[in-house]
Amino acid sequence: MNSWFKKAWPFLTLGVAVVALLGGFFVYFMGKDVSPGSGGSVTAKIETPEDLKGYEVINVNVSNDGFEPNVIEVKSGVPTKINFILTRSVTHVKSVAAEKLGMDLYMQKGDNYYTVDQNVAPGEYELHCGMYMIYGTIKVI
C-alpha cells in the first residue's frame, strides 16, 4: 500500500484542493445574489406614500410563471408608476426590461417601482425578464 500512496498522492492532493476551492466558493456566495445585470440596470428603490402621490400606480405580480397581468395598460400623458411585485426571493426573475422604453430594472423581493415617461408615444412595447424567458407587453393608449 505504501507504493500505491507514493503514486497517487499528487492526484489526491489535487482532488482535495479542488474540493476545498469549490467549497470555499459555495460558502462565500451562498445566500448572495450574484445574478448579472446588463451593467446599465437600476436597482428599484423603496417608494413612500408621498413618492406615489400624483401617480397612477399599476401593480404587476412577477413570478416564475410570468407577469400578471401580462398586458399592462398605461395612459399616455398620465404620470404612472408600474409596481413589479416580486413575491419570492428565490426565483430566476431578477430583472425586467423593455429596451424601447429604456427600462432595465433590477428587482428585489417586494415592491419595485418603475416610473413611466409621460411623453412616451402610444403603442405596444415588449417587456421581458432579464433572461428573456418571460414576456409581456406594455400598451400605451
pLDDT of residue 36: 47
pTM score over 0.85: no
Between 46 and 49, the more confident residue is 49
pLDDT of residue 113: 92
Positive/negative CA dihedral, 88, 91, 94, 96:
negative
Between 59 and 38, the more confident residue is 59
pLDDT of residue 25: 75
pLDDT of residue 48: 81
Confidence of residue 124 (pLDDT cuts 50, 70, 90): very high
Can you list the pairs that 25-28 forms with residues at least 24 positions away whose Cβ atoms lie under 8 Å? none
